[in-house]
Structure 1
């Protein structure tokens, strides 16, 4: 069983909509949960690094660049460059360079993402700043082969007392990304 340390008693719900929940558990952890259902698809077969690519391909208005370098079936490096969404506010463009490991059984999966801090990829604009987080855990529990409950924990690198409107912006962007993926998978018809 996969264990994740969470301090749920300090939870602050930022957004709940259509089965999606985005919460701030404490000053260092954001928690997102949602579920995906599709009776026409065995979801256990699609949980892999290709699904991460789909997540970003469905959101070209949010990302400038997404590159996945598969090391093997259970590990990959990922470069993400966000669109310069808040340029007018003087906030620098953001990017992440991650090492992701996948642990999977027939009952659950876990993506563990940690930043690669040793270098800035050449594909990233010089003025872009790295998103400051310690690690991300995305955990899924298969209720059935066609239903999975997903929980995501994002641990921030330094303690932050962000203003509530920044939390709401993060929640709105995350909701937009996740809802597109849920709709894509939920409406996918397996080709015969």
Structure 2
């Protein structure tokens, strides 16, 4: 199967930097994504009051580039599909592995081949967050690994008035960096961090 990320872009957006900063607005799931030079590369906002969760992602000029949409209504654990704007062909599948007190996602190609896992680092802290609302303000930390368990990146939140976190991607080998960055942004949005 041809790799949809072989051109390293989605809708003309190339995400080959090693670090991105994501800022969330105060009251809604609206995101802005900046590269390491501080340039805006993506924006997103969650569609409210939809039966299926949906996040369109826009380039810096406001053009829709791709979407992440739940496969099923009111998914607690399930698949979310990333498609390029203007196409129904999936580029990525984001699979939420339902667990109590631990966030764990698998990023897959459309054929089901796993390319990465994104998992919260502390099950104890996630358990406390779910029980004590005040702790939900503590920044989240995730590890990004290959299916073999090799570290290829991390997502790390920061204390700030705005939800702000960094996505750092290391040597990914054969794993497309664009897929990891897009997957990581979508996962944080879907988790509602």
Q: Under TM normalisation by the shorter chain, which class is it? A: 0.3 to 0.5
Query: What is the TM-score of this pair, normalised by structure 1?
Result: 0.37
More contact order relative to length (CA 8 Å, sep ≥ 6): 1
Query: What is the TM-score of this pair, normalised by structure 2?
Result: 0.37
Structure with greater proportional helix content: 1
| Higher Cα Rg, which structure | 1
